[in-house]
Amino acid sequence: MPGSGTRDARRTERYLDGLMAADERRAAEVPIDTEVDPAVQFAARELRAGLVRVHPSFRFEESLSARLGAGAARLRAGLPIDGAAATDQGTLAQFHGRAAAAEPAFAEPAFIAAPADVAGLLAGPTSMAVGMPPVTADLTPGEPASRFATQPRAIWPAAAFRRLPDMTARPSRPLIVGGVGVASAAISIGAVYVAWRHSHPASSRMGRAARAAHGRTGSPGRGRRTGVISGILGVVS
Amino acid sequence: MFGSSEEGARPARLDRDRSLVEAARRDPSHFDALYRKYLAQVYSYAFYELRDHHAAEDATERVFMQALVGLPRFEERVDAFIAARAPMSAADSTEISTFRVWLFRIARNVVANERRRDRRRPVSTLDEAVLISAPEDVVEAAAAREAVGAAWQAVARLPEDRRRAIILRFVDEMSTAEIAAVMDRSEGAVRVLLHRALRSVADDLRSRLS
């Protein structure tokens, strides 16, 4: 024979079932059970009426879906998923050269370098533990920094999920190569053209007359310049 | 196990998410279907527990990532919890998704860790959400807001297990059997827990009204 507490609990459960069912079928009437404590009924109705349906933002939903997809891809490929550890502990991430190192961490607080991280940077050239909270213990000189890298701590998951493959792949950035070379070539071509014009004066009749009148008695530097230009042309040709 | 010879008698066979779970186990990319199905429920649970939007998002992320990784181990755990439970009625069985229960067990642990990690969370966010949903009539809105806010604030002041039971019952609309599975309690204990929780809320409301 159940005690009164158990009986009341069963009645309350039945009342809650009725309340939920009424709400589900959008019934206006709220079930009334005279055997259930009115105060309990009131509390249940208030909670039911005041229930706010919440949903995460679409942006969050899609970004988490993408991260789960990346994790699934890693699992399918037989790779260990960082996300697994990401929920509980830190993981090791590769350094992607100078560009990655120079891009810190203003977007992700978990990447703020702690003393141990800095030491890890100095000690380990290719990898370091990321996403670790700042370490309060002082790192004495000579102490192996790997001690910290091998003791993962609880981290913010976003920091670890970022390292999943297609999440970390940065879009390739077009690089203009040889801009200075192009400019230099244009200047050189211009110089060659000017030198060529100097060494090949116009052959019109008027030109010949002008040269006859002024050409050989020009400025004293003219002959020297012409010699230099002829030298350049000789080299070029 | 799902594939055992006794599977005809096993409640796990009636898991309404079984096909989705098996598809996700064969190809983890199919986990997305389970994720979409339970995202709102897990998020709501985390939101009502943590009362903070960002904390709820973080918790939700952890839950699903742990679920994705732990999916291959799902069978054994479910089997263990089914074996430990009292026999269910057929009606209960059809309602139960063992995957859902398993997912909410993860959520329970994640949220508990989150609450332990930071006990000084702001409590205004949920109240703001309540305000948004208030009806248009100003006077009625004010009264409703007060009552509703008071009811859920009273829930926030409940002890952890009572609060959790109320949230799972009202927010996630779980049956007593499912709540029992999530909370590792017997169904009788959960019934009593819910009854006492509602009485506490009623007492709290009464004292505020008086």
Q: What residue type is assigned to position A206 of the chain? A: M
> Residue A7's CB: how many other CB atoms inside 10 A?
13
A199 with A229, same domain?
A: yes
A155 with A187, same domain?
A: no
List, in sequence order, every residue forming a beta bridge with A116; answer none if it has no partner: none
A97 with A126, same domain?
A: yes
> pLDDT class for A147, splitting at 50, 70, 90?
very low
A118 with A185, same domain?
A: no
Which chain B residue shows the shortest CA-CA distance from A74?
A: B28
- Closest C-alpha to B154, from B94, B80, B207: B207
CA angle, B40 then B46 then B48, to 5°: 100
The residue among A17, A35, A36, A46 with the most chain B CBs within 10 A of its CB, best to mutate, is: A46
Question: How do the pLDDT tens digits run along chain B, 210 residues long?
Answer: 444 444 444 444 567 788 898 899 888 889 999 999 999 999 999 999 988 889 999 999 999 999 999 888 886 555 455 555 544 544 444 455 688 999 999 999 999 998 887 665 544 555 555 544 444 455 555 555 565 578 888 998 999 999 999 999 999 989 898 899 899 899 999 999 999 999 999 999 888 877
Contacts 24+ apart (CB under 8 A), A149-152: A149/A92, A149/A116, A149/A120, A149/A124, A152/A85, A152/A89, A152/A90, A152/A91
A86 with A129, same domain?
A: yes
In a domain, A17, yes or no: yes
A42 with A15, same domain?
A: yes
H or E stretch including B177?
Answer: helix B176-183
Distance CA A106, CA A71 (A): 25
Tokens representing B23 are: 């598809």
Claim: this prediction has a pTM higher than 0.80: no
In a domain, A106, yes or no: yes
In a domain, A132, yes or no: yes
Distance CA B163, CA B156 (A): 7
CB of B153 closer than 8 Å to CB of B71: no
- DSSP code, position B110: H
Nearby residues of A69 by Cβ (< 8 Å), 6 or more positions away: B29, B32
Q: Stretch A163-182: mean pLDDT, rounded?
A: 51
Rg (CA), chain B: 19
Question: Considering its fold, how many domains does chain A have in total?
Answer: 3
A158 with A189, same domain?
A: no
In a domain, A68, yes or no: no
Tokens representing B11 are: 């409640």
> Residue A111's CB: how many other CB atoms inside 10 A?
19
**Is some CB atom of chain B closer than 8 A to the CB atom of A200?**
no
Which chain A residue shows the shortest CA-CA distance from B199?
A: A40
Tokens representing B139 are: 């006077």
In a domain, A62, yes or no: no
Indicate if the pLDDT at residue A86 is higher than 60: no
Q: By residue range, what is the domain housing residue A26? A: 4-49
Indicate if the pLDDT at residue A139 is higher than 50: no
In a domain, A189, yes or no: yes
Which chain B residue shows the shortest CA-CA distance from A21?
A: B173
Q: What is the mean pLDDT of chain A?
A: 63
CA distances from B52 to A150, B55, B107, B190 (A): 33, 5, 15, 26
In a domain, A105, yes or no: yes
Sort out which chain B residues have CB atoms less than 8 A from A16's CB and list them: 169, 194
Sort out which chain B residues have CB atoms less than 8 A from A52's CB and list them: 126, 129-130, 132-133
A93 with A42, same domain?
A: no
A162 with A88, same domain?
A: yes
Indicate if the pLDDT at residue A50 is higher than 80: yes
A42 with A88, same domain?
A: no
The torsion defined by the Cα of A202, A206, A208 and A210, in degrees rounded to 10, comes to -100
Percent of the residues in chain A that have a pLDDT greater than 90, as a whole number:
6
The residue among B68, B114, B175 with the most chain A CBs within 10 A of its CB, best to mutate, is: B68
Q: What phi and psi, each to the nearest 5 degrees, are found at residue B89? A: -75, 165
pLDDT in tens, A182-236: 788 888 898 888 888 777 766 677 777 777 777 655 455 555 666 666 666 665 5
Q: Mapped to the 3 state alphabet, what secondary structure does A10-62 carry? A: HHHHHHHHHHHHHHHCCCCCCCCCCCCCHHHHHHHHHHHHCCCCCCCCHHHHH
A182 with A152, same domain?
A: no
A124 with A193, same domain?
A: no
Tokens representing A162 are: 């970022």
In a domain, A63, yes or no: no
What's the confidence (pLDDT) of residue B208?
80
Q: What residue type is assigned to position A66 of the chain? A: A
